[in-house]
Amino acid sequence: MHDLISNVTPKEFQPKIMYSDGISMAGSCFAEHIADKLVRYKYDVLSNPFGILFNPISIARSFERIANRQYYQEEELVAHDGLFHSMDHHGSYSGANKDAVLLNINTSLEKSYLHLTRSKFVFISLGSAKVYRFKKTGAIAGNCHKIPQAEFESFRMTLNECELALEKITKSIKHLSAASHIIWTVSPVRHLRDGIEENQLSKSTLLLAIDQHLKNKKHDGYFPAYEIMMDQLRDYRFYARDLVHPSPLAIDIIWDIFAKAHLETHNMETHEQIEKIHRAMEHRFIQNDREAIKSFAKKQLKNIEHLSSLYPDMNWKAERQYFFQLTEPD
C-alpha cells in the first residue's frame, strides 16, 4: 500500500533543550503556540516580548530596543480611536491611559532584557515579508491598530532587506547572550489578504533569506514548521475554520515534531508526569465525597512536591493553590 503522507523530518540539531535552559520565543502567532506548550510543561520561557509580530524589520527593531534597553517615551505613542498605541507593539499593549501603556511596555522591555541575557535558545517565527510603512513617521509598523489604510504604504521586502533584518536580529540576540542558539522558522499561517500568489512569494522570500543567513551560522538552525503544514499536513482537516490557521490538532502534531527535534529525550517522562497533574486539575468529581476528594488532592500535591524536588525552578503556584483548597474543611 502506498504511503499517502509526505513526512517532514527536521535536521538534527544539537544541543537539545534542558529544563535548566532559558528559552525565548518571538514573532508570529505560531511562536506563541509553541511557547504555550513549553509553558504548559514548565519550561523557563519568554513569549513574544512585543506581542505578535510578523515581519523581519519589526522583529529586528524589537530586539534592538531590548538589547539597548531603549525605553519608550510618551511622544512615541499614537492616539487612535480612544486608545494609545505603540506602532512597534501588538494591540495587547494598547490602552486608554497612556501612562499605563508606557509602564506596561517598558516593564515588559526590562523583563525581556533580563530573560534574554540568560536565554540559551531563541526561536524566531517569521510570518510575512509584507510590511506597512506608517506615512506619518516613515517607520515600518509592527501593527496597524486599525488606523485607516490610507495612512500606510505597503510593499513586500526584497530578499536583501530580509537578510539584513535577520543579521540585525542575530546581532542583538548575540549581544544579549553570546552563547545563545537561534532557531528560525517560517510560520505555517497563510496571509491571504493579497491573494495566494503574494503569500507564496512572501513565504519564499523569508525561506530564501533564512537559508542564506544560516550558511555561516553553524551554531544556529531551522525548524520546518511551514513545510510540515504545507506537505505533511496539507489536508484542510488540519486547518481551523478560517482555512488559514492551523487547527489544534495540527499544532499538536507540529509540537510533537518540534519536541523530538529540540528537547532532551528524558524530558518526555517529565512531560507525562506534568500532564497527569493537568488532567487531575481538569477532573470533575461526580460524587461529593469530601474524604475522597481530599485524598485525591493530597496525592496530587505529593506529585507536585516530587517534581519540585527534581526541578526547583518550576512554578507550581496555581496548581498548589487549586489542590490546597480541595484539602480544606468545608
List the domain boundaries for the chain. 22-264, 271-327
3-state DSSP assignment of residue 225? helix
Question: In the chain, what is the straight-line distance between the N-terminal and C-terminal CA atoms, in Å?
Answer: 61
Chain centre to alpha carbon of residue 242: 21
What are the phi and psi torsion angles at 46 (to 5°)? -105, 125
CA distance to 37, 40, 118, 314, per residue, from 44 (Å):
12, 10, 10, 8
**Torsion over CA: 19, 21, 25, 31 (sign):** negative
Q: What angle do CA 99, 101, 106 make, to 5 degrees?
A: 95
Q: How far apart are CA 126 and CA 186, in angstroms?
A: 5
135 neighbors 151 (Cβ within 8 angstroms): yes
3-state DSSP assignment of residue 281? helix
CATH 3.40.50.1110, domain 22-264, yes or no: yes
Number of H helices, E strands in the chain: 10, 9
* Confidence (pLDDT) at 22: 98
* Confidence (pLDDT) at 289: 83
Q: What is the pLDDT along the chain (330 residues), one digit of tens a residue?
A: 456 678 899 998 999 999 999 999 999 999 999 999 999 999 999 999 999 999 999 999 999 999 999 999 999 999 999 999 999 999 999 999 999 999 999 999 999 999 999 999 999 999 999 999 999 999 999 999 999 999 999 999 999 999 999 999 999 999 999 999 999 999 999 888 889 999 999 999 999 999 999 999 999 999 999 999 999 998 989 999 998 999 999 999 999 999 999 999 999 999 999 999 999 999 888 878 889 999 999 999 999 999 999 999 999 999 999 999 999 876
Helices 290-310 and 267-282 pack at an angle, to 10 degrees, of 160
